[in-house]
Structure 1
Amino acid sequence: MSRPQLAEARRVRAVELFGRGLSNSDIAQMVGVHAESVRHWRRAWDNGGAQALRRRPAPGRRPKWDEAQVEQVRVALEQGAQAHGFEADLWTLEWVGLVVEQVTAVTLSRATVWRLLTGRLGWSLQRPERRAVERDETEIARWIAYEWPRIKGR
């Protein structure tokens, strides 16, 4: 449950408790908020009913593209960087920005690309492990188990 949904659930629970005639401090304790918040909610409920305590959309500028376009970007990125002509299959912010521009015709700054990836797409920063291609885990385990004790024992 997201924070706004949790906050709305608390307000809805408070409305249910208003009907029981409980005090603001009792409701605050039961819901897990400060009594001043409950007083504010009760005033809003008195003036506008339960609808006044419902969650409203976040204020601010509307996103540059809709969910269908975000899904198009997700599908394009999941194909991998090499599918879009890049030499490695690891994404950089610049490369993601170029693909976003190709798919949606919207140019984004690096910071906005980062917010797109971590916010709307739910991706996180991943760094590849630096390991030699020739690395052999079984040989390393054998060396640690047999060779190292032999060398250390001298």
Structure 2
Amino acid sequence: MQAAERFRQGDEATVIVHDLRVSVRSVQRWRKAWSQAGSRALASKGPASLPLLSDELFAVLEREPAKGTVAHGWPDQTRTPSRIKTLIGRGFHKSYTVRGVAALLKRHGWSCQVPARRTIERDENLVTRWMKETWPLVEGPWRRSAPGSSSRTKPASR
């Protein structure tokens, strides 16, 4: 709708492209549709496709992790998008990409969680002291970057 208003004002396509951060081709298509049918031609027609899993099926999928990963044939407790993709395929005969599963989970409020695994015996004081005293010796000067250390900054020899 912002583009339609800009068309009415007579703005150039390049200005609209820059301001709305869209492609030149999109502005061209919008201008053509707008000139033929007005602003109603630019109204959203909804999502390009319906989701493969309805809200009811997603509710069933949400109950699956409670059964545990061993019940689904995995040896450890990690729940990855690829494993959830497999569950969707097995349970609902629907095919998602791993990226599509990640988007589906995010849309339903799930988040990526990485457990912080620390040993019980961990001594924070010892770790801090090691980082200050020992790590700089292990790291060595060859790992530190310094001005002029990049091959791009040296003049090319011919």
TM-score (norm 1): 0.52
Residue identity matched to 2:121: R
Query: Which residue type is aligned with residue 56 of structure 2?
Result: A
CA-based RMSD:
4.3
- Out of 58, 79, 95, the residue aligned to residue 91 of structure 1 is 79
Higher relative contact order (CA 8 A, sep 6+): 1
Aligned mate of 2:8, from 2, 10, 19: 19
Q: Does 1:114 align with 2:98?
A: yes
2:126 corresponds to which residue?
140
Distance 1:134 1:13 in 2: 58
Higher helix share: 1
What displacement does 1:44 show?
0.6
Greater CA drift, 16-25 or 83-92: 83-92
Residues 50 and 94 of structure 1: CA distance in aligned 2, closer, same or farther (over 3 Å)? closer
Q: Which residue of 2 aligns with 1:46?
A: 35
Q: Given that residues 100 and 107 in structure 1 are in contact (C-alpha distance below 8 angstroms), is that contact kept between their aligned partners in structure 2?
A: yes
Q: 2:55 aligns with which of 67, 76, 79?
A: 67
Which amino acid counterpart does residue 118 of structure 1 have in structure 2? A
Q: 1:83 to 1:30 in 2, by over 3 A?
A: same
| Shift in Å, 1:36 | 5.4
CA shift in 2, pair 1:95/1:29, >3 Å? closer
Whole-angstrom CA distance in 1 between matches of 2:10 and 2:97? 50
Contiguous gaps of at least 5 residues in structure 2:
135-158
Q: Any conservation in 1 of the 2:85–2:98 contact (CA below 8 Å)?
A: no
Work out the CA distance in 2 between the residues paired with 1:98 and 1:31: 39
Superposed displacement of residue 95, structure 1: 5.5
Q: Does 2:48 align with 1:58?
A: yes
TM value normalised by structure 2: 0.51
Structure 1 CA distance for aligned equivalents of residues 17 and 86 of structure 2: 50
Instruction: Tell me which residue corresponds to 2:143.
Output: none
Structure 1 unaligned blocks of 5 or more: 1-11, 149-154
* Partner SS, residue 119 of structure 1: helix
Distance of 2:53 and 2:11 partners within structure 1: 46
Work out the percentage of aligned pairs sharing the same amino acid. Answer: 23
One-letter amino acid of the counterpart of residue 101, structure 2 = L
